[in-house]
A and B are shown apart, each in its own frame.
Chain A
Amino acid sequence: MLDSARSPAESSGFSRKIAATIIIVYTVVTLIPITWIILTGFKSVDGAITYPPEVFFKPSLEGYVNLFTTRSRQSQEYLDSLPPPDTWYEELVRSREMVIAGPSKFFGRYTNSLIIGFGATFLSVFLGALAAYAFSRFKIPLKDDLMFFILSTRMFPPIAVAVPIFIMYRKIGLGDTHLGMIILYTVVNLSLAVWLLKGFMDEIPREYEEAAMIDGYTRMGAFFKIVLPQATTGIAATAIFCMIFAWNEYAFAVLLTQFNAQTAPPFIPTILGEGGIDWPAIAAGTTLFLIPVMIFTVVLRKHLLRGITFGAVRK
């Protein structure tokens, strides 16, 4: 009769304990892979492949050094003939009987990801906002059908049109260019941008821009100077969504880019070290690649909700 003190309308302490146990177990299971890869990034190359794997180890930045540099193996005599290393990372590499030959491609790939990500985000938001405004304000013949055509391109698996895109890009010279990838990611993001932004623009009262137009603004002027600033939150949420997609996209990146415009996702899994795959470097690269998006997503998850469900769930 211990429970009699509790209001019967509350869930019992016992069920709360079960709840806590289940949540703890699932949270830990969720965290293990993420923790494991972050830890592996701080292992030394030998440490990463010891048997059995170590959970506790002496941290090393070797993975990160290997990620950003290319190295060549040298004989002990040659190493002895060199002046003492200037920096801690040179020292680390020397201790493996190697010298730094130059920077690796990782930085360039990361920059490519940034250029393509920002470019595609900007374009999809720009084009999306224009279309969304028209759908939100104007009378358009076949409006619903056009909207649903746009919606259907979101559900459509882009990879299913890989062949014609590949052929087209080779013909018109867009293959392995930043511009080509920007256009492609813009197209894939457009439907989301249009639908999301239309929802946000529907919430902005028409009276604002009508008043502005009476004051002598053109329609375009009213759109850029009155409507867009009002929709800042919506634009930011949409932009983050587009950015995450472009940042993470893999299939087209692996297909259409090799050298010039290759982004980080196809590059990271192929990082090779001495005598095979350099696991700590891959782990380090993956960590650096994932952290920005993870922070964004977790911080903004309430906004993202609307994007994931296409406006089906609002707050």
Chain B
Amino acid sequence: MTIFSLVLYVLAGILVCILYYHISNFLLDFFAKKDSKDSSIRAVIFIAPAFIVLVIFILYPVFETIRLSFFDKFDREFVGINNYIWAVNDPEFRRCILNNLGWLLIVPTLSTFFGLVIANLADRIWWGTIAKSIIFMPMAISFVGAGVIWKFVYDYRGPGDQQIGFLNAIIVSFGLDPQAWITIPIWNNLFLMAIMIWIQTGLAMIIFSAALRGVPKEMLEAARIDGAGELKIFTSIIIPYLQQTILVIWTIITIVVLKIFDIIVAMTNGQWQTEVLANLMFDWMFRGGGDSGRGSVFAIVIMVAVIPIMVLNIYRHKQEQKI
């Protein structure tokens, strides 16, 4: 059955493409023959398919989410801003905001920092390229896959019980008691963040090491001849030189962190005070009957949180295009 449907999908896809090709060819001939220089129908044919799906599956749902947030849990009665008032007073929501802030402060900072340091150091060693490939590897791992992997690192069973966790294997071999890493509030957040840092450091590193090649060699040599130490060179030449790159990486990782969801679902499912906004939203929307009103409120908080980064990024892209 699966092989059959696979073939069917491929055929259908090819058929649609061929159809699209011929229909648009026909339309282009029909409308655009006379002034073939700048006909707007031409642009429409090329852009329309992409735009139609974006509007149906992203733009419309955004407005629908905004609308739902003003309605009750079954989307029947208009309740004004009651859902928002409820959310502001909800202790769980406040904790989520704090957790999200923690993620936003710690993960991009540490990933960028580690990435920069490793990119900088790896260039000095002959096997640096190999090390960089290894450090980049977690980047390929899906968040939920990473969650499963780290479950094997953090896992804990009761004392004297059977253990599968790597960290507890280490701890026990030093004669200490095994710890239930992901159930210790506050600290467990840091253990979860470590997973994200593990993934994102490789990304930061690979971008930095590309950017580092742009640092003028003469400048570094001049500084060394003047007797500047490595640390001094790092802080007063390399960091200022890479300012723009640091900002780029920072925003990329921040956007990823704002979407954080999978890791927490896989690791704790939001238990032990680790929930973030996306988890809370998911819980309210789809667990226990669902409450589309309250769920939508959290969705909107996430959307609003992304806006500043979005604006910053678009502004940066605009600046680049001017140059």
Contacts and interface: CB of A to CB of B under 8 A. Distances in A.
A12 B32 CA distance: 68
Nearest to A28: B134
Given A160-B303, A305-B210, A130 B163 contact: no
A247 B144 CA distance: 11
A293 B146 CA distance: 13
A156 B303 contact: yes
Contact of B133 (A26, A186, A301): A301
20 contacts: A20-B125, A29-B198, A31-B134, A33-B153, A33-B198, A51-B160, A51-B172, A108-B2, A119-B13, A130-B50, A151-B317, A155-B309, A155-B310, A157-B259, A161-B58, A162-B299, A163-B295, A164-B65, A221-B25, A283-B148
B291 to A, nearest CB: 10
Contacts of B150: 33
Interface string B160-174: 111111101100110
Contacts of B161: 51
Interface stretch (A65-73, A87-95, A231-239, A306-314): A306-314
Contacts of B201: 26, 30
> In the complex, which range does the number of interface residues on chain B fall in?
35 or more
Contacts of B255: 155
Contacts of A164: 60-61, 64-65, 68
A108 B53 CA distance: 28
B281 interface: yes
Contact of B57 (A20, A51, A165, A247): A165
A23 B28 contact: no
Contacts of A140: 40, 43, 47
Contact of B29 (A40, A191, A218, A315): A218
A128 interface: yes
Interface stretch (B83-91, B103-111, B114-122, B180-188): B114-122
A11 interface: yes
A119 B9 contact: yes
Contacts of B137: 30, 34, 294, 297-298
Contacts of A219: 28, 32, 42
Interface in B200-218: 201-203, 206-207, 210-211
Contact of B131 (A23, A141, A186, A310): A23
Nearest to A219: B28
A151 B278 contact: no
Contacts of A111: 2, 6
B252 to A, nearest CB: 7
Interface string A131-164: 1011100111100101011111101111111111
A157 B258 contact: yes
B286 interface: yes
Interface of A: 8-12, 15-16, 19-20, 22-24, 26-27, 29-34, 36-37, 40, 48-53, 55, 108, 111-112, 114-115, 119, 122-123, 126-128, 130-131, 133-135, 138-141, 144, 146, 148-153, 155-168, 178-179, 182-184, 186-187, 190-191, 194, 218-221, 224, 244, 247-251, 254-255, 265-266, 268-269, 279, 282-283, 286, 289-290, 293-294, 296-298, 301, 305, 308-310, 312-313, 315
Contacts of A265: 142, 144-145
Across the A-B interface, give the 3 residue pairs with the lowest CB-CB distance, nearest first. Answer: A248-B142, A297-B140, A134-B46
B191 interface: no
B93 interface: no
B21 interface: yes
Nearest to A128: B50
Nearest to B254: A155
B224 A9 contact: yes
Contacts of B278: 157, 159-160, 251
B124 A19 contact: yes
Contacts of A149: 54
B152 interface: yes
